[in-house]
Amino acid sequence: MESGSLQLNGISWTVFRMGETTWLLQPNAERRLLDVIHQAAFLLEFSEIQGLTDVIPAYESLTVIFNSSDINVKEVLSDLETKNIESELNSKTHEIKVCYELGMDWKEMETKTGLTKEEITFIHSSREYSIAMMGFLPGFIFLDGLDDRISVSRKENPRTKIPAGSVGIGGNQTGIYSLESPGGWQIIGRSPSSFFDITSEPPTKFRPGDKVKFVRITKAEFETQENRNG
The Cα–Cα gap between 87 and 152 comes to 30
Distance CA 192, CA 33 (A): 32
Coil, strand or helix: which one is 74? helix
pLDDT in tens, 39-83: 888 888 777 788 899 888 888 889 999 998 888 887 788 766 555
Q: Could you read off the pLDDT of 163-218 as tens digits, one per residue? A: 999 999 999 999 999 999 999 999 999 999 998 888 888 888 888 889 999 999 99
What is the mean predicted confidence (pLDDT) over 1-21? 82
The pTM of the full predicted model, rounded to 2 decimals, is: 0.78
